Amino acid sequence: MRHHWKRLSSILIAACMAASLAACSGSAAPADNKEAVSENAAGADTGAGDEAAPAEASAAPSQEAAAPAGETAAAAVEEAAAAGTGQAAADDAAGDAAADAATTAAVVADEGEPIDHVDYQVLVNKLHPLPKGWEDVIETVHMTNSIGDDVEVEKTAYEAYQQLKADLEADGIYVDLDSAYRSVEEQQRIWDDFTQKYGDDYTRKTVAVPGYSEHHTGLALDLYLIVDGKDIVENEDLITYPEIWEKIHEKLANYGFILRYTPGAEYITGYAYEPWHIRYVGMNEDYSTNVAMLISASGKTLEEYLHAVPVADDVTIDYGTSSVFSEDERKDAAVQVECAFASFEGCELHSLRYAGDEACTNENLEWINSISEDTGTKYTKVAEFLTDFHSPVHEEIQAAWNPDQEYKDYQWWLGQTEDGGWDVVSFGY
C-alpha cells in the first residue's frame, strides 16, 4: 500500500510537469534511431553528438502547459477513484493526461507575441519554449561536413564557428559540425515516428518535445573531432579525448561561444556534461560586450546568467557508500536525479544523497518492475536517492508544491538495467 500511494504522488507531479521526468532516463534509444534521441544524461537535445548517449530528461512543457496538465491528471485520478476502479485505473488516467500534455507541448511555443529579431542569448530548454516567430527571423546557411552530412546553422553563429575552427587548426586541433539547426517540424516528425514505432512512453523518455529543443535556435552546435585523419563521431569515443576538449573550451569565449552543459550543473541545465555541445551567445545588443566572456568568467550556466532559475549558494551531493553499487554507478544515478530535478520549475535544490543499500531489496525491485511493465523495461537492481529542496516562492508558478516551503527527504527511486543504465522510475513521498 505504501508503494501505491507513493506512485500516485509521483503521477500527479509527473503530470504537472507534463511527463518531463519520464524522459530523464538512462536507457539509450535503438541504434538505428540515434538521430532522434534527445536531451539525455550524457548527451542533450536531439543531435548526433548529443543524441547517442544515455537518454536524459526530455524537454518539458512551459509553465502554461504544466498547470492544465496537472489539473487534468488530478481530475482523472479523482474520477477513477470515485468510480472505484482502483489504483491501476488512476495510474492509467493520469499517465494518459501527461502524455496528452507532452504531445501538445509544441502548441505552447506558439503562444505570445512573435519576435522580430534574433536574440542570441535566448533560453530554450525544458521549461522555456522556442519563441514564437523564431523560425521566421533567423537566417541559416548550409555546410557539408567531413563525413558528407548536410548541417544547417544560424548564419552569424556559423561565421563565428569558422573563426574558432581556424584558430583551433592553427594549434593542430581539427573539428567539424555534427549537428546544429533542427526545425520544430522536423522534431515533430521524429516525435511522431518514435511514437508510432515504440509507443508514447518510450518516446517521452528519449525524444525532445517539439518546441523545447535548443537546436531549434540554430545557435547550438555539436562538434566532433578529427584525430589523425579519422572522424571521431560517437559520444563514447569523443569523451576519451579530455585534453583536446579542454583546449577547445579555452578558446570558445573568444568567438562568442560557451560550453552549454558544464559538469556539476545538471540540476540547473537538466543535462550532463557534454564537451561537444557549444552554444553561440555572441555580443549584447549594442555590441559593447562579449556575453560569452562574461558567462565563462563567471563560471555560471546560461540559466544562471539570465536569472532563470533559483540556485542555492551551496548544494551538497553525497554519493554515500555501498556494497551493491560502485561509486561511478552511484554518480551516474545521481546525474539522472539531477537532470530530472531541473524540470521542477522554481524549485531550489539544497542536497542530494544516496539513501543507502537498505533500499536495494527484492521487494522494491519487484515494485519498480511492476510499475514499469508497460515500458517493456526490465530492471535488475533498484536504488533510492533523497533530496532536500525549497519549493517556488511565487504562487503563480503552478505545480504540485506548497509555495515557499522546504521539502525534506524527497524520494527518488531508480532502476538499473542489465547494461548498467539508470531510469528514474518514481519520485515523491
Q: Which residues are catalytic?
A: 274
Helix, coil or strand: residue 392: coil
Q: Which helix (H) or strand (E) holds 337?
A: helix 327-341
Closest CA relative to residue 45, chosen from 196, 377, 269, 302: 269
Grid coordinates representing 310 are 533559483
Compute CA distances 280 → 170, 295, 348, whole Å: 21, 12, 27
Compute CA distances 425 → 130, 190, 195, whole Å: 28, 24, 20
Closest CA relative to residue 387, chosen from 245, 267, 217: 267
CA 378 to the chain's CA centroid: 23
Distance CA 52, CA 67 (A): 32
Taking the CA atoms of 331, 334, 335 and 336 in sequence, report the sign of the dihedral they define. Answer: positive
Spell out the residues 6+ positions from residue 351 whose beta carbon is closer than 8 angstroms to its own: 315, 316, 317, 318, 387, 388
Beta strands (DSSP E) in 50-208 are: 140-144, 150-154, 174-179
Spell out the residues 6+ positions from residue 163 whose beta carbon is closer than 8 angstroms to its own: 255
Neighbours of 334 (CB within 10 A): 25
Spell out the residues 6+ positions from residue 19 whose beta carbon is closer than 8 angstroms to its own: 58, 60, 98, 99, 101, 102, 204
Q: How many CA atoms lie within 13 A of 290 on its CB side?
A: 13
Q: What is the dihedral of CA 160, 59, 66, 313, to 10 degrees?
A: -70
Grid coordinates representing 126 are 525544458
Grid coordinates representing 112 are 505570445
Compute CA distances 331 → 121, 150, 239, 416, whole Å: 31, 36, 17, 13
The total number of residues written for the chain in this structure: 429
Distance CA 308, CA 103 (A): 25
